[in-house]
Amino acid sequence: MKAVFFNGSTAELIDARKPRPRRGEVLIRVDMAGICATDLMILQGYMAFNGILGHEFIGTVVSSEKSELVDKRITGEIFVPCRKCAACRSGNKKHCPKRTVIGIDGRDGAFAEFLTLPEDNLHLIPDSLSDEAAVFVELAAAACEMPLRVPFEKKSRVVVLGDGRLAAMAAQVVSLESDDVLVLGLNTGKLEAFRSLGIKTWEVTKKSKLLGTFDIAVDCTGKPNGLPLAAELVRPQGTIVLKSTYQGSLGWNPAPIVVNELVLIGSRCGPFETAIQLLDSGKVKTKPFLTAVYKLGDWENAIRRARRSESFKVAMLP
Ligand SMILES: [Zn+2]
Ligand SMILES: [Zn+2]
């Protein structure tokens, strides 16, 4: 099968062996895969990953011990826990220290024609949800994690930092919780896409009027300057939700967090079922945010496109 394999320093399209499912696993034919900022970082050495890239996907079950799963359209949670450690036994599988993660850590991913996953990881995709929208499930789920951890109120004044694909999901999910949501970004063309959905936007170059005015800031910039900016934007005793991961370190004095008694919440992956419902009901929209779809054989151009600052989500077909 065709697959985009990363050897730790370079990636190439290879003819890989079709994966064989282990006990409890299913074989999945990939129907569409999404390129994520994490993939772009892995290509630059983040996570020291070695294997087939890709963790955002929609697929069809080809074989399974459970016959009712065969031919079903699915997506899958990206973490494969060990199921034995203390974290797993206490139900906190997401924090299993021995977990593997498809396309990120110790497990082959979805930039391929096929992949395997435990059947427990699967979520059915309703017929009414297109592949083009469903490819956003993992990203939307990451946004859906926030309301579980952060006390958003209707009257909360919320700023979402960043104008990329994660900000697109986060702004819409947060808008279901709070009536006053503003997206602060750089790229005027991308901000226009947010406004097409009725979301207020502001250019970061004009941020001075906004300093200290928000109850909650959500950092989706994916850049080291996101957290210092968030600390400037929230009021004393406000909350910062940190969703950015990036390579490199943050050379910043965190005194504003202490002096202003800010609450800092790290937030990662979230509930797939909630994300699927929000996408299927149209409460979270994806149309303005799918920039382009490439063939897997054209993966280099797809990656190049995903890196461009004016791009949102770029997807690939096997
Ligand atoms: Zn991702
Ligand atoms: Zn475990």
Average predicted confidence (pLDDT) for the chain:
96
Q: How many helices (H) and strands (E) does the chain have?
A: 11, 19
CATH number of the domain where residue 111 is located = 3.90.180.10
Q: Which residues line ion ligand 2, judged by CB < 5 Å?
A: 81-82, 85, 88, 96, 98
CATH number of the domain where residue 193 is located = 3.40.50.720
One domain, residues 98 and 127: yes
One domain, residues 70 and 129: yes
Boundary residue ending a domain (247, 266, 285) = 266
Give the per-residue pLDDT at 250.
86
Q: How far apart are CA 157 and CA 146, in angstroms?
A: 15
One domain, residues 65 and 78: yes
User: Which segment of 12-16, 21-25, 246-250, 314-318 scores lowest on mean pLDDT?
Assistant: 246-250
Token readout for 201 is 């936007």
For residue 82, the ligand closest to its alpha carbon is 2
Give residue 152's pLDDT band: very low, low, confident or very high (50, 70, 90): very high
Domain enclosing residue 10, as ranges: 2-139+270-317
Give residue 277's pLDDT band: very low, low, confident or very high (50, 70, 90): very high
Inter-residue contact 266 to 145 (CB < 8 Å): no
Give residue 248's pLDDT band: very low, low, confident or very high (50, 70, 90): confident
**Secondary structure class of 84 (helix, strand, coil):** coil
CA 274 – ligand 1 centroid, Å: 17
Inter-residue contact 8 to 49 (CB < 8 Å): yes
Checking if the pLDDT of 7 tops 90, the result is: yes
Checking if the pLDDT of 249 tops 90, the result is: no
Checking if the pLDDT of 45 tops 90, the result is: no
Give the per-residue pLDDT at 162.
97
One domain, residues 217 and 131: no
CA 16 – ligand 2 centroid, Å: 29
Give residue 246's pLDDT band: very low, low, confident or very high (50, 70, 90): confident
One domain, residues 88 and 9: yes
Order of strands, edge to edge, in the sheet holding 51-52? Answer: 11-15, 2-6, 51-52
Inter-residue contact 149 to 56 (CB < 8 Å): no
- Beta pairing partners, 16: none
CA 276 – ligand 1 centroid, Å: 15
Total structural domains within the chain: 2
Give the residue, 94 or 306, on which the prediction is more confident: 306
**Which tens digit of pLDDT belongs to each residue from 105-129?**
999 999 999 999 999 999 999 999 9
| Averaged pLDDT for residues 140-147 | 96
One domain, residues 189 and 45: no
For residue 36, the ligand closest to its alpha carbon is 1
CA 122 – ligand 1 centroid, Å: 16
One domain, residues 221 and 274: no
One domain, residues 214 and 310: no
Boundary residue ending a domain (228, 247, 266) = 266
Give the per-residue pLDDT at 315.
98
CA 95 – ligand 2 centroid, Å: 7
Q: Which residues line ion ligand 1, judged by CB < 5 Å?
A: 36, 38
**Secondary structure class of 168 (helix, strand, coil):** helix
pTM value is 0.94
Q: How far apart are CA 124 and CA 147, in angstroms?
A: 23
**Which tens digit of pLDDT belongs to each residue from 156-202?**
999 999 999 999 999 999 999 999 999 999 999 999 999 999 999 99
One domain, residues 233 and 278: no
Tell me phi and psi for residue 241, to 5 degrees: -105, 120
One domain, residues 150 and 249: yes
Q: How far apart are CA 183 and CA 308, in angstroms?
A: 20
CA 236 – ligand 1 centroid, Å: 32
Helix (H) or strand (E) holding 306: helix 299-307
CB-CB neighbours of 291 under 10 Å: 18
Give the per-residue pLDDT at 55.
96
**Secondary structure class of 106 (helix, strand, coil):** strand
Boundary residue ending a domain (250, 266, 282) = 266
Q: How far apart are CA 130 and CA 270, in angstroms?
A: 21
Q: How far apart are CA 133 and CA 208, in angstroms?
A: 36
One domain, residues 290 and 242: no
Give the per-residue pLDDT at 80.
95
Give residue 313's pLDDT band: very low, low, confident or very high (50, 70, 90): very high
Q: How far apart are CA 107 and CA 99, in angstroms?
A: 10
One domain, residues 24 and 74: yes
